[in-house]
Structure 1
Amino acid sequence: MRDGPRPADPPRAEVLAYGALAAPLAFGGLPLYIHAPDFYAADLGVGLAALGVVLAALRAVDAVQDPLVGWAGDRWPRARPAMMVAGAVALVAGVAGLFAPMGLPLLVWFALMMVLASLGHSLISVNLMTYGGVWRDAPAAKSRISGFREGFGLAGLILAVSLPAGLAVVVGRQASLMALAAVLAIGMAICLPLFLRWRRGARFDLQAAPDAAPPGLRAFGPFYAVAGLVLLSAAFPAALILMLVRDLLGAEDLAGAFLLAYFVAALPGAALAGHLGGRFGAVPVWTGALILSIAGFAGALALGPGTVGLFFVICLLTGLTFGADLVLPPAILSARIGATGSAAAATRAHAGLAFLTKAALALAGAIALPLLARAGFRPAAPNPEQALDALRWIYAGLPLVLRALAIGLLIQFHRKGRI
């Protein structure tokens, strides 16, 4: 990698070339955990409890996979571009295969395709965040770089969650999900070469350090603890939103509109978080955003049949704060890497955040789906009030508690200089 002076404010064209890859990459993250479990449960008849077990087992794979991706990136930094190309192939194949099951039992197929898509997502996302984290030293630039990247990611999320809902009424649900895989492939074919061209001309502080110790819990543990709680609190609503809209609100035809409102609201939230984070500091701004999000989750406890207007307001409010959740944690982690002199282990540090992101999404499903099954909940079927209460409290009550705990830890750790 090349060294040299780094301006605090990178040119817009370079930031765009770097961040655009986050748009197709977003197809393989949150949207999979929104669409895939509900598709397998409601359309293919797979039991909720069984899906929860598989999602839990997938975390054991990620527990090995993500640290290995991080270790390989730090051990062979020149191999990162090849790793990202391999990741693109795996991600496209996994997403396409997930929605076109064939040959094997459904649960086995679901697990294999999720592993393949998850591996591809890790190979790209871990290295993408690493390049952004060591590209510029100035804290304000890190927030701006993170903001642009997550802005593209949000654009990808918006397309990934709204496209299937819009096409399903015309071509059916499975065909609409296959269209999602096709758009992912096209996006990767456009954005990955653009990124690789940018990488060849950029300057970084990355070097191979085979003997460097991985970042320890003492340096990054407090950050990971807060980030894990926040990610898990966002994962429960992501895993259950389609069931909540269809089975509690009775507004299945508005599912796409709710998702669109949430992610569209996250766009100005991400831009505002990136701006304020560069001006006032990422930690104070993130703390304020988390406090604001509490109001949204509290309001969700009042949801019931027909409360469409209330849910739109909740989607807008929580979407706005979700933008901060996307932009600020990577910027905080990058600053922490610089403060602790851990640049040689930067990829492993970002791999930890990538692991927490996927672990939260799968853990939420592994917890929520069996709990709903025990409460007697059945997707796309009439449900007793007890089952709907369980859906409401798992969707909003658990995230409310997790966010409150995260806020307390974030304030405490920041005062002690550990975040």
Structure 2
Amino acid sequence: MRDPLRPADPPRAEVLAYGALAAPLAFGGLPLYIHAPDFYAADLGVGLAALGVVLAALRAVDAVQDPLVGWAGDRWPHARPAMMVTGAVALVAGVAGLFAPLGLPLLVWFALMMVLASLGHSLISVNLMTYGGVWRDAPAAKARISGFREGFGLAGLILAVSLPAGLAVVVGRQASLLALAFALAVGMMICLPMFLRWLRGASFDLRAMPDSASVSLRSFGPFYGVAGLVLLSAAFPAALILMLVRDLLGAEELAGIFLLAYFIAALPGAALASHLAGRIGAVTVWTGALTLSVVGFASALALGQGTVGLFFVICLLTGLTFGADLVLPPAILSARIGDTGSAGIATRAHAGLAFLTKAALALAGAIALPLLAQAGFRPAEQNPEQALDALRWLYAGLPLVLRVLAIALLINFHRKGRI
């Protein structure tokens, strides 16, 4: 009979205490890049091109910020809990401030609050993934830990999507987004102490970073390349979905339902991916999930006015595969860290993945929004056909190409033993 306490099977109560923090953390991740740009463009009147420039600048900040967070965690591993507490304060303040602009010009305020929220998110997410990655050695355990963490993250995303949609019709959009910030603060006050209590009783291989650590990071290059393409392919739809639903489908009142369907479908997708990864390997499962997602993006090229049913099916299909995209890359990276004996730079390695996630979201906005503006697209207004074509191809066509390239690279690198 299997011993539930052996390294391959971390106890369920401990996995829950570890992973629950991902739920409030999700409030400062993807929803910011879904709600914030559209809120500033459609509600506050900020130009799309200007927002794209700011998002590109934020990507440059992340390029410095995330590696620094990773370096600090590896340099002073015992300071990680304090970093996470600091990150919680910064994340709550940044999200609240983002939807309550005060005094400064809107673009300046948007940039400052996004930087503050992004820094807080990095301080928590990078260290959270690191603890999960070095907690257990067995590949099946890594997939299970990642699955629980991302499952909580999806639950947070579902709440972050449904709360503003449900409240907006009663109190208005801005007040509903501020309610999101309040829910974030409450979630952090509940889940962070729970995590810290778990942390005091857990044991890890957390060593200070060796002087030669930077050399070891080169072995993660193929993984980062594939993960970056996948994350970028997901970032374009994330940045454009509200515009697509409102301005292409003509179904703005259904936006919350579409987002809920997407994230709810991701829950069984994450669970199934975690289960299959422990049996047939994370890379094999990820390859299959990416291939299935290509079908969804190809179908999205047929979207137009009134194609609500088709888009609902696409949301379910791509949401299912999104669950695999959440669970499998951190598990693959953790396994790679173990295979290369790189526990001393684990935080830097996970910081690289966190940077790619935020960089993809920022880069998608920096590319898509100016291109839409150039095509004559105006959010929440009547648009010419060429502008709607640009929206459709940026939402589905470009991600489709990126996913096909990612699949080819993943198969090639895996055959060569580099992932």
Which range, TM-score by smaller chain? Answer: over 0.9
Checking the alignment, whether the CA contact within 8 Å between 2:216 and 2:342 is kept in structure 1 is: no
The answer to whether the aligner puts 1:377 opposite 2:360 as a matched pair is no
Q: Deviations over 1:15-62 (max 9, x none)?
A: 000000000000001000000000000000000000000000001110
Partner letter of residue 345 of structure 2?
Answer: A
Distance 1:209 1:280 in 2: 33
Shift in Å, 1:210: 4.9
Distance 2:352 2:203 in 1: 24
The answer to whether the aligner puts 1:182 opposite 2:182 as a matched pair is yes
Partner letter of residue 208 of structure 1?
Answer: A
Aligned to 1:126: 126
Distance 1:108 1:141 in 2: 44
Aligned to 2:255: 255
SS at match of 1:116: helix
SS at match of 2:137: coil
Partner letter of residue 316 of structure 1?
Answer: L
Shift in Å, 1:216: 4.4
Shift in Å, 1:6: 5.4
Distance 1:392 1:8 in 2: 45
Partner letter of residue 348 of structure 1?
Answer: R
Aligned to 2:75: 75
- Give 1:161-176 correspondences, 5 Å limit: 161-176=161-176
Aligned to 1:65: 65
Partner letter of residue 334 of structure 2?
Answer: S
Checking the alignment, whether the CA contact within 8 Å between 1:215 and 1:345 is kept in structure 2 is: no
Partner letter of residue 373 of structure 1?
Answer: A
Q: Deviations over 1:99-120 (max 9, x none)?
A: 0001100000000000000000
In the alignment, structure 1 segments of 5+ residues that lack a partner are none
SS at match of 2:78: helix
Q: Deviations over 1:213-237 (max 9, x none)?
A: 2354530000000000000000000
Distance 1:295 1:383 in 2: 28
Shift in Å, 1:162: 1.2
Partner letter of residue 209 of structure 1?
Answer: M
Checking the alignment, whether the CA contact within 8 Å between 2:97 and 2:113 is kept in structure 1 is: yes
Structural RMSD (CA): 0.9
Aligned to 1:332: 332
- Give 1:188-337 correspondences, 5 Å limit: 188-214=188-214, 216=216, 218-337=218-337
For the structure 1 residues 55 and 216, does the alpha-carbon distance in structure 2 shift closer, same or farther, using more than 3 Å as the test?
farther
Shift in Å, 1:207: 1.2
In the alignment, structure 2 segments of 5+ residues that lack a partner are none
Aligned to 1:28: 28
Q: Deviations over 1:40-89 (max 9, x none)?
A: 00000000000000000001110110000000000111100000000000
SS at match of 2:213: coil
Aligned to 2:352: 352
The answer to whether the aligner puts 1:55 opposite 2:55 as a matched pair is yes
For the structure 1 residues 216 and 7, does the alpha-carbon distance in structure 2 shift closer, same or farther, using more than 3 Å as the test?
closer
Distance 1:53 1:294 in 2: 29
Partner letter of residue 19 of structure 2?
Answer: G
Shift in Å, 1:209: 2.5
Shift in Å, 1:346: 0.2
Aligned to 1:410: 410
Distance 2:286 2:400 in 1: 16
Shift in Å, 1:324: 0.1
Checking the alignment, whether the CA contact within 8 Å between 2:17 and 2:195 is kept in structure 1 is: yes
Shift in Å, 1:367: 0.2
Distance 2:215 2:21 in 1: 27
Aligned to 1:401: 401
Checking the alignment, whether the CA contact within 8 Å between 1:88 and 1:120 is kept in structure 2 is: yes
Aligned to 2:89: 89
Q: Deviations over 1:150-179 (max 9, x none)?
A: 000000000001110110000000000000
Shift in Å, 1:385: 0.3
Q: Which has the higher mean CA deviation after the structures are superposed, 212-221 or 287-296?
A: 212-221
Distance 1:13 1:55 in 2: 39
SS at match of 2:208: coil
SS at match of 1:302: coil
TM-score by length of 1: 0.98
Distance 2:297 2:255 in 1: 18
Shift in Å, 1:7: 2.0
SS at match of 2:55: helix
SS at match of 1:315: helix
Distance 1:378 1:107 in 2: 18
Shift in Å, 1:211: 2.0
SS at match of 1:348: helix
Checking the alignment, whether the CA contact within 8 Å between 1:286 and 1:325 is kept in structure 2 is: yes
For the structure 1 residues 215 and 319, does the alpha-carbon distance in structure 2 shift closer, same or farther, using more than 3 Å as the test?
farther
SS at match of 1:214: helix
Distance 1:153 1:70 in 2: 21
SS at match of 1:388: helix
Distance 1:216 1:97 in 2: 39
Q: Deviations over 1:177-219 (max 9, x none)?
A: 0000000000000000000000000111111135242354530
Runs of 4+ aligned structure 1 residues displaced above 3 Å come to 215-218
Partner letter of residue 265 of structure 2?
Answer: A
Shift in Å, 1:248: 0.3
Checking the alignment, whether the CA contact within 8 Å between 1:267 and 1:320 is kept in structure 2 is: yes
Distance 2:379 2:166 in 1: 21
Shift in Å, 1:336: 0.4
Distance 1:114 1:399 in 2: 25
Distance 2:318 2:33 in 1: 18
